[in-house]
Amino acid sequence: MNTQYSKRLLDEGLITPESYKKIRQKQSNLLFSVHWEIKTVLYLGVMLLSTGLGILIYKNIDTIGHQVILLMIAAISAGCFFYCFKHKKPFSKAQVKSPGSLFDYILLLGCLSFLSFLGYLQVQYGVFGQNYGLATFIPMLVLFYVAYDYDHLGILSLAITNLALWLGVTVTPFYLLYKNNFDSERVIYTYFGIGLLLIGAAHLSEKFTFKKHFRFTYLHFGVHMAFISLLSGYFYNYEQPLSIVWLFMLFILAFYCYTDAVKHKSFYFILLVVLYSYIALSVVVVRGLITMDSEGALYIVFLYFIVSAIGMVLVLINLNKKFKAK
């Protein structure tokens, strides 16, 4: 704490002289932490190394040196896993505190190079043959196992990405929103299925207190996928009268997520539920008004957005208050 503040608080009698002394003492030998700098360096190191090695084998795949590179990658992967195995804490159903950031990133490097290794084997020797499902299924199993056994959220995200890949789609919300191609019903159903599966996984993790802290990661992916696939399902079937069923399902899901978020006091999921349901609601209103097909309807659309957005602001502010009061 700044000297001027602590002195003033002392003079006003708000803090005791002992506390003041403690604060001054801390101030005089303040330690400078480079924790986040080192973490960033570790993160960059793992990312660059695995990317570099990935391109390296890709480019040298037909040359003589490729076996050396293959061996090198296998050695890196094995070395990383050996290190992590040696330093690992015993498995527990609760959260296991990691031995340190180095451990986390070494484990990540091990997993990434393991994936490169498997990919290489598949391309060069076709170990999984034409069975591409198996080629993504096995890495997925390994990743889920590592995520649970070593308690690593990053690997869990990787595993979820791989789960979707195995089913033939990509998952991160950014990709969903910006590069989406929901051109077939199958893709929409797949996304929706995975979304529900992940939400279910989040629910079960908590219910059985089995790695309860994985809940957030599951729910984050699950909620985005479920909502976006429901919205796209509606637009895909826009011309059919039954398309409204998609939105109906969306509101049911929103209600479930809302009660869940209130229970966990999660502002993030409250925000998601509010925004996604607002979009769905607006879609219905605007569609209804467009069918009127008059100039007056256009004015009402504008008025609707002004009034409803003000309403949403009030909803958010009130929800925030309600949470704080609890």
Partner 1 sequence: MIAYHKIWLYNLLVQEQVEKEYRTGNLTDAELKNVMEKYPVGFYTPNVFIRVGLFLLTCVIISFAYGLVTLILIDTKLIVKPGYFLFLGVTVYIALEFVIKNMNHFRSGVDDALIWISSGLILSAFYLYTDAQDMRQQDLAIAGFMVVLGCYFSLRFADVLMTAATFLSFIAFIFILWNQIPGWGLITMPFLMMAITAGSYLLCRFGRHKAITVHYSNCLIALQVLSLLVLYLAGNYFIVQTLGSDIASDKTPQVPFAPFFWTWTIVLPFIYIGAGIKKKDVTLLRTGLLLVAAAAFTFRNYYHLMPIEATLALIGATLLLAAYGIMKYLKTPKHGFTYEIVDEENIMDKLKIESLIVSETFSGTPAAAEGTRFGDGNFGGGGTSSNF
Residues 182 to 221: which contact partner 1 by CB under 8 A? 216-217, 220-221
The site map against partner 1 for 119-138 (x = CB under 8 A) is xx-xx--------x--xx--
The site map against partner 1 for 47-76 (x = CB under 8 A) is xxxxxxxxxx-xx-----------------
Q: Is 284 in the site for partner 1 (CB under 8 A)?
A: no
Query: Which of these ranges, 81-89, 241-249, 252-260, 262-270, lies near partner 1 under the rule CB under 8 A?
Result: 262-270
- Single residue of 46, 84, 187, 253 touching partner 1 by CB under 8 A: 46
Residues 77 to 96: which contact partner 1 by CB under 8 A? 95
- Single residue of 215, 270, 276, 277 touching partner 1 by CB under 8 A: 270
How far apart CA 72 and CA 78 sit, in angstroms, is 10
Q: Which is nearer to partner 1, 25 or 291 (CB)?
A: 25
- Residue 139's contacts (CB-CB under 8 Å, 6 or more residues apart) are 114, 115, 118, 162
Compute the C-alpha angle 178/169/154, nearest 5°: 85
| Cβ at position 245, least distance to partner 1 in Å | 27
- Single residue of 7, 42, 88, 127 touching partner 1 by CB under 8 A: 42
Task: For residue 36, give Cα distances in angstroms to 41, 155, 315.
Answer: 9, 20, 37
Query: Which of these ranges, 14-22, 83-91, 246-254, 283-291, lies near partner 1 under the rule CB under 8 A?
Result: 14-22
How far apart CA 95 and CA 148 sit, in angstroms, is 10
| Cβ at position 251, least distance to partner 1 in Å | 19
Q: Which is nearer to partner 1, 196 or 316 (CB)?
A: 316
Q: Is 260 in the site for partner 1 (CB under 8 A)?
A: no
The site map against partner 1 for 160-189 (x = CB under 8 A) is -xx--x--x-x-xxxx---x----------
Q: Is 112 in the site for partner 1 (CB under 8 A)?
A: yes
Q: Which is nearer to partner 1, 116 or 232 (CB)?
A: 116
Q: Which of 157, 154, 159 minimizes the C-alpha distance to 108?
A: 154
- Residue 97's contacts (CB-CB under 8 Å, 6 or more residues apart) are 89
| Cβ at position 7, least distance to partner 1 in Å | 12
User: Longest Cα pair distance anywhere in the chain, in angstroms?
Assistant: 79
| Cβ at position 195, least distance to partner 1 in Å | 15
How far apart CA 169 and CA 179 sit, in angstroms, is 12
How far apart CA 199 and CA 217 sit, in angstroms, is 10
CA 307 vs. chain centroid, Å, equals 33
Tokens, residue 67: 């076996």
Residues 20 to 39: which contact partner 1 by CB under 8 A? 22-23, 26, 29-35, 37-39
How far apart CA 237 and CA 149 sit, in angstroms, is 43
| Cβ at position 140, least distance to partner 1 in Å | 9
Task: For residue 281, give Cα distances in angstroms to 5, 100, 154.
Answer: 50, 46, 35
How far apart CA 6 and CA 11 sit, in angstroms, is 9
